[in-house]
Structure 1
Amino acid sequence: MRVTLLGAGDTTGTPTVGCDCDTCAAARERGVERTRFSVHVENERTGESLLIDFSPDFRQQFLRDAVSLPDAAVITHIHFDHLHGLGNAFRVFDSLPVYAADETDPATGESVAETVADQYDYLDPLEVRPTTPLEPVRICGLDVTLIPVDHPPLVCYGLAVEDPETGTKLSITGDTSYDVPDESRTVLADPDLLLADAIVPASLCEHHPIGGRHEDAAGVSRTFGTKHMTREGALALAEELGAERTRLVHVAHFYPADEAFEEPLAVDGERYVL
């Protein structure tokens, strides 16, 4: 299983358009980016590949990293930075199965699968396949499980991607607070590689209108506001899950410049073979 981090950033990316903060300036100086979140997973045994989330930066990411066009895709939730690159399928794909959860979201009155089908009904190549969370489905020769996480007010899912022949496993928390349900933690556990949402360091919780949540014994917030984990929360979750290797993703440009490129914060283009 070959994993390429096409986009390791949050909804505005780093550098952020029109921003001259020290972190964005440092990214430009280093020649690194964190575009909007997307992960490419190649099954080297079958020659097939799976795309997790369609970043608005799809075109730039695929040209830059020279990965193969996916044979299938998974959409974790309907926020702009994870879904709206799907329009790039126009004139690029002859056909593309797109897997998304079949659970009805109380906030929207429809499932992620239904929203994707409704918003992109003009794209003939798309075949939206409603998928039941916590039930593995074979995609591109890999066992993929959608995992409910906590990203209010919308439903959102993480993923476990396992190779049934080698036993290697990629876990992705998805956009989530630290309050990941126990059943989901069980499915995410013991990955060879964990990609964990870590939007900012806990020290920045004081700048959020409602502060931080899910404090540890030392009072360090593991959730920033309500929707995302802090760096400290993501690392705590990684330890609890027994991750062999962890990369922090969905990273915002609000990290102080002297922390923004420290391990294990990911940048675009990283590749891992599991």
Structure 2
Amino acid sequence: AEGIPAINCDCLHCSRAKREDEKLVRGRNAVLFSLPGYQLLLDTPPDIRALLVKNKVRRIDGIFLTHPHHDHSGGLEEFLYWRAELDLFAETTVYEALRREEWGDRLPEVAFHCAFHPGMAVRFDGFFFTPFAVYHTAPCFGLALYEGGHKIVYTSDSSNRFSNYAYCLMKEADLLIVNTPRFSPPHEDHITSTEAVELKARVRAKHLILTHFNHENKPHDELEEWAKGMDGVTAAYDGLEIEI
């Protein structure tokens, strides 16, 4: 997603965002998980510096990179200036794509590469996560995060097609986070907001967070009003905090 307002766009959605600001304005998508003894950042969009400064984030221990598209990885360079050691969780093909196309041998200067394999749990003292592959235009991975008896599932950029394994991981999640740039079909590359609600029902997730909107989705106030008509559905906005 290109953020809202989009560059050089005067559509009604972008025009409202320029005029009214607040929740109508959206940066690119990133999620920070505060876990026992560890701060895990999902993705590094090009505007990650502004997002971290605005939200007063002073600690990050690791980055989970879902895929190499620029709107999810373009801010990695900012972490050359991060004055602390970082882990970089990236599947091998994603890491090699970044090295080949952008970074060369400089990528280890940003963070220590912690390779993962889909379906294999990555364990810490107090929590663990299991990555899983999703259907997208590049190799892409979501994750199921387990901590304190709770399960959070993040699907990343995925079409409305999941493996049976992914459905099993999503089953009865306490929190399901789904990237939905557009409101309704057709959209082959990404699941839409209406399809995500159907996914929530299918896997019986307790709560659904819709995020990663672009200007072709509804403005935030309209999305929020639509979501109010359903149990356990929230339209995210920049700076949203949720405690599980």
| TM-score normalised by length of structure 2 | 0.87
Residue 192 of structure 1: aligned partner = 174
- Which residue of 122, 125, 131 maps to 2:106? 122
More strand as a share of residues: 1
- Residue 26 of structure 2 corresponds to residue 34 of structure 1: yes
Aligned counterpart, 1:254: 216
* Contact kept? 2:89, 2:114, Cα under 8 Å: yes
Gaps of 5+ in 2: 228-233
CA contact (8 A) 1:160 1:170 kept: yes
Tell me the number of residue pairs that the alignment of Structure 1 and Structure 2 aligns. 231
Residue type matched to 1:196 in 2? V
Unmatched tracts of structure 1, length 5 or more: 1-9, 103-110, 206-211, 213-223
Deviations, residues 116-168 of structure 1 (Å, cap 9, x unaligned): 3454332424111211111110257431111111113x2211111111xx111
Bigger proportion of residues as helix: 2
The change in CA–CA distance for 1:140 and 1:77 in structure 2 (over 3 A counts) is farther
1:238 to 194, 200, 203: 200
The share of aligned pairs that are identical, in percent, is: 28
Which residue, out of 112, 115, 136, partners 2:121?
A: 136
The residue type paired with residue 22 of structure 2 is G
Secondary structure in 2 matching 1:78? coil
* Distance in 1 separating the partners of 2:98 and 2:64: 11
CA distance in 1, matches of 2:125, 2:192: 33
Contact kept in structure 1, 2:76 and 2:110, CA below 8 Å: no
Counterpart of 1:56 in structure 2 is 46
On the 8 A contact 1:117/1:128 being kept in 2, the answer is no
Q: Which residue identity lines up with residue 40 of structure 2 in the other structure?
A: L
1:158 aligned partner, one-letter code: G
Question: Residue in 2 aligned with 1:221?
Answer: none
Q: CA RMSD in A?
A: 1.9
Q: Is the 8 A contact 2:77 2:110 kept in 1?
A: no
Contact 1:192/1:245 (CA < 8 Å) preserved in 2?
A: yes
The secondary structure found in structure 2 opposite 1:271 is: coil
The CA distance in 2 between the partners of 1:68 and 1:141, in whole Å, is: 22
**1:84 match:** 74
CA shift in 2, pair 1:55/1:191, >3 Å: same
Does the CA-based 8 Å contact 2:86-2:112 persist in structure 1?
yes
Q: Distance in 1 between matches of 2:159 and 2:180?
A: 9
Q: Which residue of 1 aligns with 2:165?
A: 183
Which secondary structure state, in structure 2, belongs to the residue aligned with residue 56 of structure 1? coil
Report the secondary structure of 1:41's partner residue. Answer: strand
Structure 1 residue aligned with 2:56 = 66
Letter of the 1:34 counterpart = R
The alpha-carbon deviation at position 260 of structure 1 amounts to 4.3
- Matched residue SS, 1:238: helix
More displaced, 154-163 or 18-27?
18-27
Deviations 1:83-132 (CA, angstroms, capped at 9, x unpaired): 11110111214321101113xxxxxxxx1122234543324241112111
What is the one-letter code of the residue matched to 1:40? L
- After the TM superposition, which parts of structure 1 deviate over 4 Å for at least 4 consecutive aligned residues? none
- Check conservation: 1:94, 1:125, Cα contact below 8 A: no
